[in-house]
């Protein structure tokens, strides 16, 4: 096979083999000889503005994101192009090869009957009950890993927006996912929008196009009333992605018919007349259960699996995204809010005691006896619930609306102990190691101190008890524990759920 050598805009030399290994909507893709990167050539001619956009993406924006603070952190969350090349009159980009975990290793059920083993893990496989049912169990992940996956997507969108960029086509086609590990990677970076400088090339992918974009597609591209992809439309797409990955249905596709013409019905249902299928007062777009296939009866029916099973933090954002902000872009949650809500939700999940439960984890519902909403298995026994408090004024602690559910082997990290420590790209390596963990011995729960130097039991202010490193404390109803004496140290109060 012939190998072609080209020089990039950066001055570097790149090679590719003359065999197309993939074709997207806009590019033909070729492997490098060692398969460590690919070269994708655009089929259509790229004008001067397009070339300038690409040079900025592989230049200053790549440097700002991947070579700035937390660059290593972001490198695994983006497949960012490295250079721009030209060959035989065609413009192309050089990009890293996708990591192996973003390709199906087992594929579908029944010895990969769908022949998808080795193919990319496009997100659509994991955002639909019907498609997930056809995947091998090893590919599916747990509900906990889906929370981590959506957290990684939210972080990447937050960083992209902080750089002044918008994706313009954020969808499960342009986000590779690995539910087995919770990893995610945003791809097709070459079409990024720089608001006010580089306009979008596309309006988006059906299911993820914001209503204001959908309802103005009939206008000319340069019409001032035409709404084009932007950070605000990314925020809509992000909310749809998170909803679909956690609930396996679309938030706007209900039973309401807007027009007998299917094309017009789609334009209205996803655009001007878009309505949340779980709208609290307008029930006209509720899912018609009779229209659901057998395998969709549980997840496809919001009456069985309402969005509130995602917990209080995510439920609030879903309401803001699909009720308050559906037709009011400024009211949509930003990516950082999803990131915070997902982090707090991860702290509230509980492993299902039914080992056969496919989801494996669920959000504590604040009930006396927690019950898995998926398999309906109740928790048996006492279960500690920890509420976090922080001090803005020395000696005075206020509730944070942040709760930690305890399970056997669960860890405490520095970001639980210190409210100024945030688990993001700025986290120091020393702050990534756990400092304590929980253990169930017989029917009692204990917190073992691994690295909290000033950990104290302050339940009785007149008799404060120090818990040295290496020691443990038994968790009991009404107990107050100070995790650290530092200015940003937290208190936790203990309540016991279950029976």
Band (pLDDT 50/70/90 cuts) for residue 25 is confident
Our measurement of the distance from residue 111's CA atom to the centroid of its chain's CA atoms, rounded to an integer in Å, reads: 30
Mean pLDDT of 286-311: 91
pLDDT over 80 at 499, yes or no: no
pLDDT over 80 at 324, yes or no: yes
**Residue 151: which H helix or E strand, with range?**
helix 143-162
Rounded percentage of the chain residues whose pLDDT exceeds 90 = 79
Rounded percentage of the chain residues whose pLDDT exceeds 70 = 100
Q: Which of 96, 74, 98, 94 is nearest to 86 (CA)?
A: 94
The values of phi and psi at residue 476, to 5°, are -135, 155
Q: Which of 24, 16, 26, 19 is nearest to 54 (CA)?
A: 26
pLDDT (0 to 100) of residue 218: 86
pLDDT over 90 at 359, yes or no: yes
pLDDT (0 to 100) of residue 188: 86
459-481 pLDDT, tens digit each: 999 999 999 999 999 999 999 99
Look up the pTM and report it: 0.95
CA separation for the pair 152, 467 (Å, rounded)? 35
pLDDT over 90 at 22, yes or no: no
pLDDT (0 to 100) of residue 49: 86
Band (pLDDT 50/70/90 cuts) for residue 498 is confident
* SS3 assignment, position 496: strand
Sole residue written with tokens 């080795």: 118
pLDDT (0 to 100) of residue 369: 78
> Which class for 447: exposed (0-12), middle (13-18), buried (19 or more C-beta within 10 A)?
buried
179-217 pLDDT, tens digit each: 999 999 999 888 888 877 777 777 788 999 999 999 998
CA separation for the pair 438, 163 (Å, rounded)? 39
Q: Which domains does the chain have, with CATH numbers?
A: 3-97 (3.30.200.20), 104-347 (1.10.510.10), 381-498 (2.60.200.20)
Band (pLDDT 50/70/90 cuts) for residue 110 is very high
pLDDT (0 to 100) of residue 195: 75
pLDDT (0 to 100) of residue 404: 95
369-396 pLDDT, tens digit each: 789 999 999 998 899 999 999 987 777 8
119-162 pLDDT, tens digit each: 999 899 999 888 999 999 999 999 999 999 999 999 999 999 99
Record the tokens describing residue 269, joined without a space.
């249902």
Tell me which DSSP letter residue 418 carries.
B
pLDDT over 80 at 306, yes or no: yes
389-433 pLDDT, tens digit each: 998 777 789 999 999 999 999 999 999 999 999 999 999 999 999
- Give the Å distances, CA to CA, from 314 to 7, 92, 138, 155, 340: 47, 40, 27, 15, 10
């Amino acid at each position: 096979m012939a190998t072609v050598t080209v020089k990039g805009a950066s001055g570097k030399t790149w090679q590719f083999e003359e065999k197309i290994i993939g074709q997207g909507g806009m590019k033909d893709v070729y492997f490098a000889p060692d398969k460590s990167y690919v070269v994708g050539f655009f089929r259509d001619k790229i004008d001067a503005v397009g070339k300038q956009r690409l040079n900025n993406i592989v230049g200053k924006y790549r440097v700002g994101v991947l070579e700035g603070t937390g660059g290593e952190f972001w490198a695994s969350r983006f497949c960012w192009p490295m250079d721009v090349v030209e060959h035989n009159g065609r413009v192309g980009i050089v990009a890293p090869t996708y990591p192996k975990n973003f390709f199906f290793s087992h594929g579908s059920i029944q010895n990969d009957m769908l022949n998808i083993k080795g193919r990319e893990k496009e997100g659509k496989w994991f955002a639909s009950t019907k498609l997930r049912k056809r995947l091998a169990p090893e590919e599916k992940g747990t509900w906990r890993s889906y929370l981590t996956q959506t957290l990684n997507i939210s972080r990447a969108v937050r960083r992209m927006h902080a750089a002044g960029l918008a994706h313009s086509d954020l969808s499960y086609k342009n986000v590779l996912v690995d539910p087995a590990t919770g990893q995610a990677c945003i791809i097709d970076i070459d079409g990024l929008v720089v608001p006010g400088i580089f306009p979008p090339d596309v309006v988006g992918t059906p299911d993820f196009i914001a209503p204001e974009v959908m309802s103005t597609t009939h206008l000319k591209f340069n019409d001032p009333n035409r709404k084009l992809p932007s950070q605000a439309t990314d925020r809509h797409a992000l909310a749809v992605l998170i909803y679909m990955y956690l609930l396996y249905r679309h938030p706007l596709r209900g039973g309401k018919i807007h027009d007998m013409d299917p094309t017009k019905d789609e334009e209205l249902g996803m655009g001007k007349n878009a309505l949340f299928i779980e709208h609290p007062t307008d029930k006209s777009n509720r899912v018609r259960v009779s229209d659901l296939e057998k395998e969709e009866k549980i997840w496809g029916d919001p009456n069985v699996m309402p969005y509130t099973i995602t917990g209080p933090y995510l439920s609030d954002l879903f309401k803001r995204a699909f009720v308050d902000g559906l037709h009011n872009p400024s009211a949509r949650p930003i990516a950082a809010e999803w990131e915070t809500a997902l982090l707090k939700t991860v702290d509230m999940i509980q492993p299902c005691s039914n080992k056969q439960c496919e989801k494996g984890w669920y959000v504590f519902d604040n009930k006396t006896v927690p019950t898995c909403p998926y398999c309906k298995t109740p928790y048996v026994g006492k279960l500690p619930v920890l509420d976090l408090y922080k001090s803005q004024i020395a000696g005075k602690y206020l509730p944070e609306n942040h709760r930690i559910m305890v399970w056997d082997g669960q860890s405490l990290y520095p970001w639980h102990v210190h409210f100024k420590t945030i688990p993001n790209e700025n986290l120091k390596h020393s702050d990534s190691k756990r400092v304590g963990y929980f253990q169930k011995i017989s029917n009692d729960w204990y917190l073992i101190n691994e690295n909290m130097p000033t950990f104290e039991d302050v339940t009785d202010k007149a008799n404060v008890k120090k818990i040295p490193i290496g020691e443990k404390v038994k968790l009991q109803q009404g107990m107050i524990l100070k995790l650290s004496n530092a200015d940003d140290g937290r208190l936790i109060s203990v309540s016991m759920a279950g029976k």
